[in-house]
Amino acid sequence: MMRDRHTGPFSREGYPHGHLSRYRQVLQILARHGFGWLLGQLGLRPPRPLRWLLGGRPREVERTTPQRLRLALEELGATYIKLGQILSTRSDILPDDYLAELSKLQDAVPPEPFEVIAAQITAELGSPPSELFAELNPVPLGSASIGQVHAARLTTGEDVVVKVQRPGVEAVVEEDLAILMDLARLAARRTVWGEIYDLPGLVEEFAHTLRGELDYVQEGRNADRFQHSFAGDPRIAVPHVFWRYTTRRVLVLERLHGVKIDDLQALAEAGIDKKALARNAAQVVLKMVLEDAFFHADPHPGNFLVLENGRIGLLDYGMVGQVDDATRDGLLYLLLAISNQDMDRIIDQLTALGVMGTSGQLERLRRDLAHLLSIYWGLPLKEIDVTRVLEESLDTARSHHLRVPTSLVLLAKTLAMNEGLARRLDPDFSTVDVLKPYVMELAWANYSPRHWRRRLLPTFADLSRLAVSLPRRSERLLTQLERGNISINVHVHDTDRVLGELNGMVNRLILGMIMSGFAVATALLMQVYFTTGLDWPVKWLLGIGMAIVIGLGSWLAFSILRRIRR
């Protein structure tokens, strides 16, 4: 647990001993890009050699704050680049200008020397690459901060890609995650925005996502799951995983040959129907979300290839999202409410999906959403941009400091990226034309007897067990009740803070009463002694008493004013 400076595991300057060197590096980079004020807001004291730098002006004053943030994250390395890429999907947290800038983050760094990659493959697979592969191109197809990809051919003749994790990157990521969690806990305690957005919870979610990307075995399982979901589907191709050559740090996949889905000129030369391709891409993503409840969470154009036969080849399975039945049903009803322009149901479904806030915040959200949807009132369903409405609804929730579940934001961003890709292929593409059949199919399925039978069978099983055990439990309960052994434990959340506030109020009230009584008594004694003549010891005692009264009164007034400012 993170503690204040000068206590616990922190050094005298306020940084954990285990990460002091990395902390200093992070501070230096943030300061160089003009974010020293953020550390001051967190109450952290920078190392002495950096204090002059943190207090100075940023070197690149001509850049905007979002641009400087992107540059700082790129310089900080793999963990922070991934953090920025994920934050670029969180329209409930950051404004549009930050989202646009963070979406430009490039996870491309100079490749590792081939000797290092060969040594990593040997350490993971137990044999040198020359014995495992008939060919292995030393020049990588792509190089990122976590790993790099090489083209290869197996001894059995299959063309594959070999994804190799950079040596030592896992230790660096874990150190950075520990630092981020420390800073998140500190921000949650010392800043209003840190408490509103539950930063420790966000860091936990980010850590779970990033550790998943570091585990190539999990990425291979994700690919296998997609392959099973789309088995026999002529619209999409999922590469085969060669498990014999796959470990936590090495992943070998079938190589798909094609052109990038946003290369419009290459698609035209290949004779690909772009309208059909846009529709297929949208249907594939909607099937993932609304049918399989397991979707590719990074559907940018670089992760889609178009093969010679027009099939879509899906790449990179490190970042995925899952939707439970309740969230999928809630999203369905939310889409129906948006299409019907039913404001109350929109608010109800956002709340059911986990958008949390006070009743006043939700009422302001309802008012702003009513203004937003008034743009679409009277329009036919085909002309309603459902994805835009969903994204703007989440933007409105952010403006009211409401907490939005990560799964919902990730889902909205996935749909928005998919729609953007489809409209690049077909400017006349309409999300509703593709979305409506899925929504109607799911709506009918939710009311079908088969659906209710599937849900009711576990309920009947629970009721049968309860019916068998209820008489025995009732007898025990009545026996304990007759003997007076029943006790009820009530736990009220956040009682310590409330009781602390009440205790402080009572203490100040008592102190004020004592101070008032002391002041009145001192004044009466002074009046009596002035009429009879004062001896010098009595003068000193009364003077000290009056000084104590003035001091207590000043302290009490100061503490009240300080709490009002808070």
Give the active site residue among 92, 182, 298, 316.
298
Tokens for 248? Answer: 């936590």
CB-side neighbour CA atoms (13 Å) of 115 = 0
User: Three-class SS of residue 8?
Assistant: coil
pTM for the predicted model, two decimal places: 0.68
- Report strand pairing: 236-237 vs 312-314: parallel
Identify any residues that bridge with 260 across adjacent strands, giving them in sequence order.
305
3-state helix, strand, coil in the chain (%, to 5): 65, 10, 30
433 catalytic per annotation: no
**133: phi then psi, degrees, rounded to nearest 5:** -125, 145
Residue 111 DSSP class: P
Could you read off the pLDDT tens digit of each residue along the chain, which spans 566 residues?
333 333 333 343 444 445 677 878 887 888 788 877 776 666 665 544 444 444 444 444 578 888 888 888 888 888 888 888 777 766 667 777 888 888 777 666 788 999 999 999 999 999 999 999 999 999 999 888 888 999 999 999 999 999 999 998 998 899 899 888 888 888 887 777 666 667 787 888 888 888 888 999 999 999 999 999 999 899 999 999 999 999 999 999 999 999 988 888 888 888 888 889 988 888 888 888 778 888 887 777 778 899 988 899 988 898 888 877 777 777 777 777 766 667 677 777 777 777 765 666 667 777 777 777 676 665 655 566 666 676 677 777 767 667 677 667 767 777 777 777 888 888 888 777 777 777 777 667 666 666 556 666 666 666 677 677 777 777 777 777 777 766 666 655 555 656 666 766 777 777 777 777 767 777 666 666 655 555 666 667 767 777 777 777 777 777 776 665 55
Tokens for 12? Answer: 């005298």
Closest CA to 129 of 94, 153, 95, 100: 153
Question: Could you give the CA distance from residue 153 to residue 193 in angstroms, rounded to a whole number?
Answer: 52
Question: Could you give the CA distance from residue 481 to residue 483 in angstroms, rounded to a whole number?
Answer: 5
pLDDT tens readout for residues 22-47: 878 887 888 788 877 776 666 665 54
Contact yes or no for 387/419 (Cβ under 8 A) = yes
Contact yes or no for 306/267 (Cβ under 8 A) = yes
